[in-house]
Amino acid sequence: MKLQILGQRVLVRRKEEMKVTKAGIIIPDSALEKPIEGEVVAVGPGKYAESGFFHNMRVGVGDTVLFAKFAGVVVDGTDKGGIEHIIMDQDAIMAVIK
């Protein structure tokens, strides 16, 4: 599937869930929470404000970001590894991990 991201939206690949703790305890799938961390895969061009100024994107491809738990829309079709992709507004991103 090929997507062209529009406006101030961002396509994020959700980080994989941890299924085994550092101590070796296996966590069942029913107890796993969706991670709120991911990698930016694609970004839109930005958007024009009502004042007429153009606002560029503050995140770029390859950035690792933290986002709101229920942010965005899950895109149908995951990559070959079974990792979810989410399209969200740039404002749903809370932080960039450096």
Residue ranges of the chain with pLDDT lower than 70? 1, 18, 29-32, 76-82
The answer to whether residue 3 is domain-embedded is no
Strand residues in 15-72 grouped as ranges (E): 37-43, 47-48, 54-55, 64-67
pLDDT value, residue 55: 85
SS3 content of the chain, % helix, strand, coil (to 5): 5, 35, 60
Q: Are 7 and 87 in contact (CB under 8 A)?
A: no
pLDDT value, residue 65: 94
> Half-sphere exposure of 76 toward its Cβ, with a 13 Å CA cutoff?
0
pLDDT value, residue 34: 75
pLDDT value, residue 39: 92
The answer to whether residue 62 is domain-embedded is yes
pLDDT value, residue 80: 59
Tokens of 56: 């560029």
Number of domains in the chain: 1
Domain span at residue 78 reads 9-15+31-97
The answer to whether residue 22 is domain-embedded is no
Q: What is the CATH number of the domain that holds 82?
A: 2.30.33.40
The answer to whether residue 47 is domain-embedded is yes
pLDDT value, residue 81: 64
What is the distance, to the nearest Å, from the Cα of residue 49 to the centroid of all Cα atoms in its chain?
Answer: 24
